[in-house]
Amino acid sequence: MRFARCAAALIVVGAAGRQTNGTVFTESDIQTSHLIRRPAVVEGREWLGLQVFKGGSRLEQVDVHWVGSLNFEDSLFTLSVQPGAPAFIVADVPQLSAGPAVSLSRYEETLSSRVPLHFVVGSRAYSVELTGTSPTMCDAAVTLSDGTLSQGLYFPDQEFLSCDEPHFSVQWVGDLDGDGRLDLLTTFSQKYSYYPRRLWLSSAAQGGELVGLVATLDGFAA
C-alpha cells in the first residue's frame, strides 16, 4: 500500500509556556513508498533511531534522507535510514539523546474495546484502555492509567474526519527518556485511511498528566 503523508507541526504548550515540536516515523512509515511528495523535511535535522536488539535497546544517531523514483507517471519517495532497521526515528525532541532505552513492546498491538493493554515500567504498572458503546466504535476513547492517575489520550471530538472504520493501536511502549516512567508511540484514528502517529513522553507531562505529546506524523493511505 502506498501512502501520502504529511508531518503535523503540532505544538504542545504547557502551563509554563514550554513548546515541543517533533516528527516521528514508525518502522512502517520508513518501509512504505510515499506517493507524489515527501511528507516531511528530513534533511538538515538531527535524527535518532531506536534500535531494538536481543537484551536491550538504544537510541542512536541515524542519517536520514529521501530517495526518489518514478513509477509510470507517479513520483515515489522512500526514506533511507542508516544504520538501518530502527523501530522508529524521531527528530526535534529535546528530551531525547543517544543512549540506552527500555523497550517493552516493539511491534504493533491493536486495542480492543475494554481489553486493556498492561505494561510495567520500573515500579509502576500502567494500562492503556479503549472504551466505547457504539458497535462502530465511533464514540471510542483511549485512556492511559497508572492506577492513581488517568489521562485521556484520544477523544472522538478531537477528529476532523468523519468516522469510518476507526482503528486504534500502540506501536511501541517503554522508557525512551530514561526517567523510569512509561513512554509510548500510538496511532488512534477515526478513519480507516488516516494514520496519525503520536509519540508521548513522561518527561513532557504537565500537571495532572502521565505523558505529554512531543512528536507527530499525519498520514493518509492513497
Q: Which residue in 51, 65, 1, 50 sits closest to 195, CA to CA?
A: 1
Question: pLDDT tens digit string along 153-169?
Answer: 999 876 677 899 999 99
**Could you tell me which residue, 159 or 175, shows the higher pLDDT?**
175
With 80 as the cut, is the pLDDT of residue 14 above it? no
Distance in angstroms (rounded) separating the CA atoms of residues 34 and 155 = 28
pLDDT at 72: 62
Reported as a pLDDT band with limits 50, 70 and 90, residue 39 is confident
With 90 as the cut, is the pLDDT of residue 29 above it? yes
Report in angstroms the alpha-carbon separations of 96 from 113, 124, 183, 205.
Answer: 32, 21, 12, 14
pLDDT at 19: 37
Q: What mean pLDDT do residues 97-113 have?
A: 94
- Tell me if 168 sits within 8 A of 160, measured CB to CB: no
pTM to 2 decimals?
0.88
